[in-house]
Amino acid sequence: MPRLEPIEMNNLTSNQQTVVDKMLEGPRGGMRGPFESLLRRPELCDRVQHLGAYCRFDTTLDRDVAELAIILTGKHWKAQFEFWAHARLARESGVPDAIIDAVREGSPIETDNKSYQAVNDFVTEYFATNRVSDPTYNQARQALGEEGIVDLVGLVGYYSLVSFTLNVFEVGLPEGESNLLS
């Protein structure tokens, strides 16, 4: 059960309406996930949605690589909505079901894809230790480049904020969908 009552979209403040209009006109095209919660502070919501638009649509990371990082982040934070939404997008972008299932189950991934392996190792090591070792950093630098690592850090940070928001305000899955994470 969500902790916040739904916002009546026909009764928004002018600041809220401005943010909603930007989101509806932008690449996201909607207000799903954390944004209705964040809309209680339209200035924060606007800044968050701009960062998210960059992380999701303008990153140097290939779409499938970015989606893998997102589901790893959602899994770490046990953010049901985040994992549910992005497991589907990961699949659509080409991430194999076996990798998505391994992330969901918390199992090691098995892949010859150097970018997938680098992202998995980088993100899981950071979440486990709050650091990234030199070998893991160098593996990511070879696979993603320095710009890719910067974008990966931004992406994981952004989706950690999203996951935190979803979890704190208990944003549920759409009706008829089941939790994927235990």
Phi (first) and psi of residue 126, to 5 degrees: -60, -45
Tell me the C-alpha distance between 91 and 112, whole Å.
17
Q: What pLDDT sits at residue 182?
A: 84
Compute mean pLDDT per 10 residues along the chain, 182 residues long, and list them: 88 95 87 92 96 94 98 98 97 98 96 98 98 98 98 98 97 93 89
Q: What pLDDT sits at residue 29?
A: 82
- Residues whose CB is less than 8 angstroms from the CB of residue 145 and which lie 6 or more positions away in sequence, other chains included: 60
- Residues whose CB is less than 8 angstroms from the CB of residue 52 and which lie 6 or more positions away in sequence, other chains included: 28, 158, 162
Q: What pLDDT sits at residue 26?
A: 83
pLDDT tens-place string over residues 14-65? 999 999 999 998 888 888 889 999 999 999 999 999 999 999 999 999 999 9
Q: What pLDDT sits at residue 55?
A: 95
Phi (first) and psi of residue 165, to 5 degrees: -60, -50
| Domain 63-168 fold | AhpD-like (1.20.1290)
Tell me the C-alpha distance between 149 and 33, whole Å.
26
What residue spans define the domains of the chain?
10-58, 63-168
